[in-house]
Amino acid sequence: MTSITNGLNNYAQYGAAYARTAGAQTSLASILNGSGDDVLPGASTNAATQLTLSAAARAQLAGGSSKDFSAVISDSRAAIDKLYKAANVAAPYDASGKPTIDLLGLDRRALFAIASNAGGRFTDAEQTLAATNRISQFNDALSPATQTANLIGDFSTVYKAAASYLDGASSEEKATATWQAERAAITQGLAATQSDPSKIPAGISNDPVAAYLARYPSGSTTTAKDFGSVAKQARAALDDQAKQATAAGKLLVYDPARKTGQQADLSVLDNRALSAISLNKDDLFSKEEVFAAKRELDSRNRASILSALKQSQTSGNPAEFSLGLLNTYAGMSAEERTATNWTPAFRDNAVQSYKATNSLLSMLKRG
Is residue 218 domain-shared with residue 236, that is, in the same domain? Answer: no
**Spatial distance between the Cα atoms of 83 and 53, rounded to a whole number of angstroms:** 7
pLDDT level of residue 224 (50, 70, 90 thresholds): confident
Domain contains 25: no
Local structure of 252: helix, strand or coil = strand
Domain-embedded: residue 13? no
Structural domain for 114, as ranges: 68-222
- Name the pTM for this structure: 0.73
- Pair 115, 141: CB distance under 8 Å: no
Own/partner pairs for 22-27, CB < 8 Å, 24+ apart? 22/112, 22/116, 22/118, 22/172, 22/173, 22/175, 22/176, 23/176, 23/177, 25/116, 25/176, 25/177, 25/178, 26/178, 27/178, 27/181, 27/182, 27/206, 27/208
Q: Residues 179, 166: contact at Cβ < 8 Å?
A: yes
Structure confidence at residue 366 (pLDDT): 67
* One domain, residues 129 and 207: yes
Closest by CA to 176, choosing from 134, 116, 110, is: 116
Residues 234 and 318 in one domain: yes
Whether residue 180 is found in the same domain as residue 242: no
Please tell me the predicted confidence (pLDDT) of residue 40. Answer: 36
In a domain, 26, yes or no: no
Please state the domain count of the chain. Answer: 2
Say yes or no: 193 and 230 in one domain: no
Please tell me the predicted confidence (pLDDT) of residue 16: 35
Show which of 222, 256, 272 is a domain's final residue: 222
Q: End of a domain among 174, 205, 222?
A: 222
Q: Is there a single domain that holds both residue 213 and residue 296?
A: no
**Residue 88 pLDDT:** 96
pLDDT digits (tens, 9 = 90+) for 82-106: 999 999 999 999 999 999 999 988 9
* 173 belongs to a structural domain: yes
Kindly report which listed range (39-53, 72-86, 180-194) carries the lowest average pLDDT score: 39-53
- Determine contact, residues 189/207, Cβ cutoff 8 Å: yes
For residues 83 and 198, state if they share a domain: yes
Chain segment 101-130, per-residue pLDDT in tens: 999 889 999 999 999 999 999 999 999 999
Among residues 222, 237, 264, the one where a domain terminates is: 222
Q: Sorting pLDDT into bands at 50, 70 and 90, what band is 30?
A: low
Is 280 found in the same domain as 196?
no
Cβ(86)–Cβ(134) under 8 Å? no
